[in-house]
């Protein structure tokens, strides 16, 4: 059975958006009903297709367990800045979730809904997003992973799993290596349709051009007041409790500049990983790869999935195809992510 959905695409190939880890770069796009503004890239909730039960494949999939209340947490970065985070659960097992470029901590709402109360889950806003302070200076992999480490250090744990989606994947990998260098145990690393230097399509002129274009477009849209309504539409598939926060966290002018600064360093960061491959990741590693081409080309999606499989092989890890998902697996198959997190924590 095929469920109707409003499929939205941009002038840019969505698989290149996914591959480059692009933020919600708002550009004119085409829907089945005509022209409209769309949100490709790291938070493409508009293309969400939730898994459903066998009786009604088009029905939303509810949480499978009772979940705790999501609370706010403030973490201090090394330089004293405030990082805003969402936390749920009370257990000693810690899971820290790193979002993709242009997505805040609330973008993990669907996964948070499915984690049990024995897991302490923390999803945070990077600098300039949502309630997190802005910061001057380059936002390269070293700077981004330093903030992630501040979040990890702020919450005591007996087992730690790091989860990264899209551009969050390299950030998590960088942080995990630093933790290992400190002698800190990392139980597992879960990469969800991650940005991957093993895929050549990250380094094409088109991908580089898209990075530059969004650095110009996002602040303009924020100043014109166009970013907020488009982001509200983009996150309509999230659980209602965190929907407004997910949109607001990436709709401000500060967030637009933060995304632009991160994207300016993204290709360079991936190139550095390619030229100087880091040692194997600590702990168990799992890689989830979206398999739906989202109407924009099987070849590019297969190339990206092949790179994800190669990453899992290099890390002697586990590869999981997300057959019902494109790039944003957390929207379409949050239960796949939550289940793998629980497996890594065992």
The domain in which residue 198 lies consists of 9-345
Burial of residue 142, with CB atoms counted within 10 A of its CB: 0-12 exposed, 13-18 middle, 19 or more buried: middle
Question: Looking at residue 242, what is its pLDDT?
Answer: 87
Question: Looking at residue 207, what is its pLDDT?
Answer: 86
Domain-embedded: residue 4: no
pLDDT-based confidence at 1, cuts 50/70/90?
very low
Look at residues 264, 262, 234, 263 and name the one whose alpha carbon lies nearest to residue 248: 234
- For the chain, what percent of residues have pLDDT higher than 70? 80
Q: Are residues 48 and 255 in contact, defined by beta-carbon separation less than 8 angstroms?
A: no
Q: What is the pLDDT of residues 95-126, one digit of tens each?
A: 999 999 999 999 999 999 999 889 999 999 99
Domain-embedded: residue 83: yes
Q: In which order are the strands placed within the sheet that holds 34-38?
A: 9-10, 27-31, 34-38
Helix pair angle (168-182, 253-275), 10° resolution: 60
Domain-embedded: residue 3: no
Domain-embedded: residue 217: yes
Give the dihedral sign, CA 263/269/275/281: negative
For the ranges 33-42, 53-62, 146-155, 326-335, the lowest mean pLDDT is seen at 33-42
pLDDT-based confidence at 234, cuts 50/70/90?
confident
Q: Are residues 224 and 199 in contact, defined by beta-carbon separation less than 8 angstroms?
A: no
Q: How far is CA 26 from CA 12, 322, 332, in A?
A: 11, 26, 21
pLDDT at 194 exceeding the cut of 50: yes
| Alpha carbon distance 240, 244 (integer Å) | 8
Q: What is the pLDDT of residues 279-296, one digit of tens each?
A: 999 999 999 999 999 766
pLDDT at 255 exceeding the cut of 60: yes
| Alpha carbon distance 188, 287 (integer Å) | 11
DSSP-derived 3-state class of residue 9: strand
| Alpha carbon distance 18, 101 (integer Å) | 10
Domain-embedded: residue 2: no
Longest dimension (CA), the chain: 55
| Alpha carbon distance 218, 227 (integer Å) | 8
Domain-embedded: residue 1: no
**CATH code of 33's domain:** 3.40.50.1820
Question: Looking at residue 239, what is its pLDDT?
Answer: 83
DSSP-derived secondary structure for 133-175 = PP--S---HHHHHHHHHHHHHHS--SEEEEEEETTHHHHHHHH
Question: Looking at residue 296, what is its pLDDT?
Answer: 60
DSSP-derived 3-state class of residue 195: coil
Question: Looking at residue 210, what is its pLDDT?
Answer: 86
pLDDT-based confidence at 227, cuts 50/70/90?
very high
DSSP-derived 3-state class of residue 241: helix
Question: Looking at residue 68, what is its pLDDT?
Answer: 61
Q: What is the pLDDT of residues 16-53, one digit of tens each?
A: 444 444 443 333 333 322 222 222 333 332 232 223 23
Give the number of domains in the chain: 1
- Decide which of 160 and 243 is more confident: 160
Domain-embedded: residue 284: yes
The number of angstroms, rounded, from the C-alpha of 201 to the middle of its chain's C-alpha atoms is 19
- In terms of DSSP H, where are the helices of the chain? 14-20, 109-112, 141-154, 168-182, 205-223, 227-234, 240-248, 253-275, 298-314, 329-332, 334-345
| Alpha carbon distance 37, 28 (integer Å) | 5
Look at residues 59, 40, 39 and name the one whose alpha carbon lies nearest to residue 49: 59
DSSP-derived 3-state class of residue 270: helix
Domain-embedded: residue 139: yes
């Amino acid at each position: 059975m095929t469920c109707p959905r409003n499929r939205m695409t941009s002038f840019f190939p969505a698989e290149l958006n996914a591959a480059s880890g692009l933020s919600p770069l708002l550009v004119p796009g085409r829907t089945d009903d005509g022209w409209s503004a769309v949100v490709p890239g790291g938070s493409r909730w508009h293309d969400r297709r939730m898994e459903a039960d066998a009786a009604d494949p088009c029905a939303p999939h509810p949480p499978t367990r009772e979940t705790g209340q999501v609370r706010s947490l403030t973490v201090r970065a090394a330089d004293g800045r405030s990082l805003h985070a969402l936390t749920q659960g009370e257990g000693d097992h810690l899971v820290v979730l790193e979002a993709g470029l242009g997505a805040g901590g609330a973008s993990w709402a669907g996964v948070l809904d499915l984690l049990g109360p024995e897991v302490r889950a923390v999803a945070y806003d990077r600098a300039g997003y949502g309630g997190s302070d802005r910061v001057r200076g380059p936002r390269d992999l070293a700077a981004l992973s330093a903030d992630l480490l501040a979040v990890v250090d702020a919450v005591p744990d007996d087992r730690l799993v790091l989860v990264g989606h899209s551009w969050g994947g390299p950030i998590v990998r960088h942080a995990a290596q630093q933790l290992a260098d400190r002698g800190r145990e990392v139980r597992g690393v879960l990469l969800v349709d991650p940005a991957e230097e093993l895929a050549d399509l990250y380094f094409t002129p088109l991908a580089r051009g898209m990075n530059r274009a969004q650095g110009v477009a996002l602040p303009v849209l924020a100043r014109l007041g166009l970013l907020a309504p488009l982001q509200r539409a983009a996150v309509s598939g999230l659980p209602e409790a965190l929907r407004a926060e997910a949109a607001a966290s990436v709709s401000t002018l500060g967030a637009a500049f933060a995304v632009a600064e991160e994207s300016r360093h993204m290709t360079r960061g991936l190139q550095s990983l390619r030229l100087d491959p880091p040692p194997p990741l600590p702990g168990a590693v799992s890689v989830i790869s979206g398999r739906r081409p989202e109407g924009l080309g099987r070849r590019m999606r297969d190339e990206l999935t092949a790179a994800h499989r190669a990453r899992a092989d290099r890390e002697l890890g586990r590869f999981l195809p997300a057959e019902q998902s494109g790039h944003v697996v957390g929207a379409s198959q949050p239960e796949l992510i939550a289940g793998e997190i629980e497996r890594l924590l065992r």
